[in-house]
Chains A and B, each alone.
Chain A
Amino acid sequence: MPIKQRFDRLLLGAAILQVGVGLALMASASWLIATERYGRPGSYFFTWQAATAVVGLGVLMVCMHVRSDLLTEPRLARVGVGLTWLLLVVVFLQPPVAATHRWLSIGGLSLQPSVLARVALMIFAAVELDRARREGWPGRRMWSLTAVCSFTAVLIIIEPDLGSGALLLVVLTAMAFVAGTPVRMIAAPAVVGVLALAVAVVTSPYRLARVRAFVDPDAATAAGWQSYQSLVAIGSGGITGRGYGAGLQKLFFLPEPHTDFIFSIAGEELGLLGLLGLLGLISLITWRGLRIASRLASPDRALLAFGLTFAFAVQSLIHMIVCLDLLPPKGIPLPLVSYGKTDLVVTLASVGLLLNLSREASL
């Protein structure tokens, strides 16, 4: 296969720019939360995120220069899935953080296994889907793939982290779709998945409350409050915003201004223009990613490139749509922008993998 020496510099530039914009927004959004809620110095979250960004860029470089044939090595993919399962189980052995088992604490650093699982599953799915395609979509292989994916998703959902689990399933489904899987093979698990999601929502009071608040915005619930405050933030920002740092919604109106609602803070402080700029950056990264995917000769790598890109795009979209109150609050961070160490490192690693693949793309 032809190895191109040039990687996609536009993608790298856009990703680094978005990390920079994200750090700036995060600093503004998290300053008061740090001092008021956590009793830390105002720069606490910013410092951590900046340090993580440095580490993440290192990981990006590594991912960029790793031997590309290792990326879709089936045995490595299986080992990756096994390791993430291990982490997802170990996390339950630790005391819960904020009443959930989303974070794994290793030597003072906390790690979100669900985020690692997403990349591992995407690599595994890319390899397995390509093999299934070559074998003519045998049912047994597809069922086992579905089982692996579902099992991982269930492990994540019972953390509980319905948003991440559902996101994982959406990404994997999209990969299967793009890989050319017969529609009936996708439809059956999709129907089951949607039903399972409905059950998960109905059986969990806080999820139900969120949905109910979304359907009936007048209900004065905590969940409705979040969405309302998000709209207040974006709406009051207007076209040009209140100015960087001048936002008022982060003063405890928005519960998680530096993670789940960073897009709202961007809207309040930088206005519609800021939102469009951010959306432009996300679109640019997505476009470059899809472009790489469509130009890769090797189907498994193309599928991986698509998966990485689609995960980034769909996660961004869900974050923005939640902030715009078109979906109930999910707790999905905006990639490269929201505070979240694991998410930032893994997203930068994904970009690194995309850049690695970009050298093989017939650009």
Chain B
Amino acid sequence: MSGRRLWVVALMLVVGGMTVVARAVQVTVVDGDEWQERARRQHQQIIQVPGPRGTIRTADGYVLAASLERVAIQADTHLLNDRELFAKAAAPLIGIDADELVGRLTSGPRTVWLAKQVAVETGEAVRELAPTAVVLVPDFERVYPLGEVAAPVVGFVGREELRMVGRAGLEHHFDEMLAGDPQTYLAINDAIQRKVRLERLERGREGYDLELSLHARLQAVCETELQRAIRELRADAASAVILDPRTGAVFALASVPSFDPAAPGLVPPEQWRLRPVQDALEPGSTVKPIVAAAALAADSIRPGERFSCLGHGVRLAGFWIRDHVAPGRYTLDEVVAYSANTGIIEVVERIPEDALYRTFAAFGFGRRSEIAFPAEARGLMPEVRTWSKLSRAGFALGQELTVTPLQVALAYAAIANRGWLPEPCLVNSVFAENGLVSDKDPRLVRVLDEALAARLTSMLEAVVDEGTGKEAQIPGLRVAGKTGTAQRAINGAFDDEHHVAWFAGFLPLPDPRVVIVVAVENPRVDFWASTAAAPVFARIALAAAGHLDVPLHEPREPQTDAVRLARNATDSRSHGGGV
């Protein structure tokens, strides 16, 4: 054997080894970044998955909507060794029919969503069955712990793939805030583009939490009372609003019948409506204090002036307006207290049309309150140039315009709040993970001077103390309010079938804490507001007073002029219900 040749061969091997070292260094160190980038491109894919949706809770701390951490289970059918066996094992875990699952695995696309919004443990159990074929993707389930309570306010979500989309209510209105930004995951892929595992790259902004001004307990009380009213009066629907006249904070927005937000599809879509915001109704006599305000503000009547009220009604431009008060001559306060139709028509005929319109507009009728809610109704308030001879009377009786219960509540809030009209506030604050995002300061607009507001308040107190609103009395509390029995225009004509029984009021005097409006649609047993709506108002008001810790006082003698006058009037005349 040649020693020299052995060295030659050994040297060649050394050169070969050096080549390996040099090339390895070149690939890993010199060009390392480039190869790493290439590797990243082929292994990794950025996928975006929705993050947790924000919580919606009430001012008194109840959770109305929350997101539970879940997973979605995806399977690559080509990687399942035995699809039937897998389906039989997986189906009971995710609670679906095994045969159906076999069908989905054997026919259809290669990648199949087995289930969405399942518990993490369930997902892991399914993945155990076929670890290489099953991928778990973060998912969330929207839950509504209080069920139907405030459901039309909260709304509900639908799903587009893994994304939750607000479809109604606040879920829709604040969709972007609640949804947050997508969470960015890095999907580590194999050569056949299957996601082998997910690594979170960026958390993304989590959905903001909303704190509503609603009080869950008041909301629940309202809904219960409205359900009772519907049952007892055989009505179609009912609405209620409770708000704070000083800030515009809405404590309750009830709309009955409602729905289960977890399964909104079980009821017809019209039940998804938040009636006090989205439905405009004829306000009836609830607008009489506004007419009085217009008359007093425009100096259209003399102090102490009396108006003749004809018990049988009045014929106006060919229409017969019914009245239910005892015939006689009533002061303005008495006209309001007894809801005298003929009297208010006489009053309204004195007010210049523009002044009347301006006052209604100032109280917020005919325009949206801009409450943070989708599809708010504007209400119908025809402009002066379109008015007929009958229009002023129609306004005075609350028949020629439509309003939402929320608009009525705000208008009454202006009276209760010494002439300051508040802006409604449904969302108190928006919270991010790390604290407050936005908060809302109450905004107020003066629409009445304070003395006029006080005078209207006295009128309304007289309504409850001595007038058509006696059923709204609450022992130990001074209550102001007004009934309204409206006929509804169905296809442009009024009939005797469709009514709205209203009661709008506030308490306690002298410093009102809440404005409450109740509207019962189409009550069949009794459509008169004084007996249909006022008791509902009283029950809700008592609960609200209790909840808001309003102190009760011993019953005492009424002291305002309006009440004294009203009492005198009662002494001499009997009265019926108001229109």
B21 adjacent to A174 (CB under 8 Å): no
Bound Cα distance from A283 to B132, whole angstroms? 39
> Which residues of chain B come closer than 8 Å to A17, judged between CB atoms?
none
A252 adjacent to B1 (CB under 8 Å): no
Contact among A235, A306, A324 with B6 in the assembled complex (CB-CB below 8 Å): A306
> Which residues of chain A come closer than 8 Å to B16, judged between CB atoms?
313-314, 317, 321
- Identify the stretch in B24-32, B56-64, B466-474, B508-516 within 8 Å (CB) of chain A at 4 or more residues: B24-32
> Which residues of chain A come closer than 8 Å to B23, judged between CB atoms?
321, 324, 326
Given contacts A180-B1, A252-B192, contact A39 B17 (CB under 8 A): no
Question: Which one of B24, B132, B189 has the highest number of Cβ atoms from chain A below 10 Å of its Cβ?
Answer: B24
Contact among A235, A252, A276, A294 with B35 in the assembled complex (CB-CB below 8 Å): A235
B13 adjacent to A251 (CB under 8 Å): no
The answer to the question of A344 belonging to the interface, with a C-beta cut-off of 8 Å to chain B, is no
> Which residues of A in the span 157-174 have a Cβ within 8 Å of any Cβ on B?
174
The answer to the question of B388 belonging to the interface, with a C-beta cut-off of 8 Å to chain A, is no
B1 adjacent to A272 (CB under 8 Å): no
A174 adjacent to B9 (CB under 8 Å): yes
The answer to the question of A299 belonging to the interface, with a C-beta cut-off of 8 Å to chain B, is yes
Bound Cα distance from A290 to B28, whole angstroms? 30
B42 adjacent to A317 (CB under 8 Å): no
Question: Which one of B8, B43, B191 has the highest number of Cβ atoms from chain A below 10 Å of its Cβ?
Answer: B191
> Which residues of A in the span 27-55 have a Cβ within 8 Å of any Cβ on B?
32, 35-36, 39
Given contacts A235-B39, A303-B1, contact A276 B24 (CB under 8 A): yes
Question: Which one of A231, A235, A248, A251 has the highest number of Cβ atoms from chain B below 10 Å of its Cβ?
Answer: A235
Give the shortest distance, in Å, between A236 (CB) and chain B (any CB): 3
Closest to A318 in B: B16
> Which residues of chain B come closer than 8 Å to A282, judged between CB atoms?
17
The answer to the question of A333 belonging to the interface, with a C-beta cut-off of 8 Å to chain B, is no
Give the shortest distance, in Å, between B83 (CB) and chain A (any CB): 13
The answer to the question of A196 belonging to the interface, with a C-beta cut-off of 8 Å to chain B, is no
B28 adjacent to A271 (CB under 8 Å): yes
> Which residues of A in the span 298-355 have a Cβ within 8 Å of any Cβ on B?
299, 302-303, 306, 310, 313-314, 317, 320-321, 324, 326
B35 adjacent to A239 (CB under 8 Å): no
Bound Cα distance from A271 to B3, whole angstroms? 37
Give the shortest distance, in Å, between B19 (CB) and chain A (any CB): 7
Bound Cα distance from A225 to B16, whole angstroms? 24
* Interface class of chain A by DSSP: helix
The answer to the question of A253 belonging to the interface, with a C-beta cut-off of 8 Å to chain B, is yes
Contact among B6, B28, B29, B38 with A293 in the assembled complex (CB-CB below 8 Å): B6
The answer to the question of A154 belonging to the interface, with a C-beta cut-off of 8 Å to chain B, is no
Give the shortest distance, in Å, between A49 (CB) and chain B (any CB): 22
B6 adjacent to A290 (CB under 8 Å): yes
Contact among A232, A239, A310 with B39 in the assembled complex (CB-CB below 8 Å): A232
B191 adjacent to A252 (CB under 8 Å): yes
> Which residues of A in the span 257-309 have a Cβ within 8 Å of any Cβ on B?
267, 271-272, 275-276, 279, 282-283, 286, 290, 293-294, 299, 302-303, 306
Give the shortest distance, in Å, between A73 (CB) and chain B (any CB): 19
> Which residues of chain B come closer than 8 Å to A294, judged between CB atoms?
3, 6
Give the shortest distance, in Å, between A226 (CB) and chain B (any CB): 12
Contact among B1, B17, B27, B79 with A299 in the assembled complex (CB-CB below 8 Å): B1
A238 adjacent to B5 (CB under 8 Å): no
Closest to A39 in B: B81
Bound Cα distance from A282 to B28, whole angstroms? 20
> Which residues of A in the span 1-46 have a Cβ within 8 Å of any Cβ on B?
32, 35-36, 39
The answer to the question of B298 belonging to the interface, with a C-beta cut-off of 8 Å to chain A, is no
Contact among B2, B24, B132, B188 with A178 in the assembled complex (CB-CB below 8 Å): B2
Bound Cα distance from A169 to B185, whole angstroms? 53
Give the shortest distance, in Å, between B195 (CB) and chain A (any CB): 11
B35 adjacent to A283 (CB under 8 Å): no
> Which residues of B in the span 51-89 have a Cβ within 8 Å of any Cβ on A?
79, 81
B24 adjacent to A177 (CB under 8 Å): no
A235 adjacent to B2 (CB under 8 Å): no
> Which residues of chain A come closer than 8 Å to B20, judged between CB atoms?
275, 279, 317, 320-321, 324
6 pairs, A vs B, C-beta closer than 8 Å: A36-B132, A231-B35, A234-B27, A235-B39, A248-B43, A313-B13
Query: 18 additional contacts, CB 8 Å, given A293-B1, A324-B20?
Result: A178-B6, A231-B27, A235-B27, A235-B28, A235-B31, A235-B35, A236-B39, A238-B28, A248-B190, A249-B39, A252-B190, A267-B27, A275-B20, A279-B17, A279-B20, A306-B1, A314-B16, A317-B13
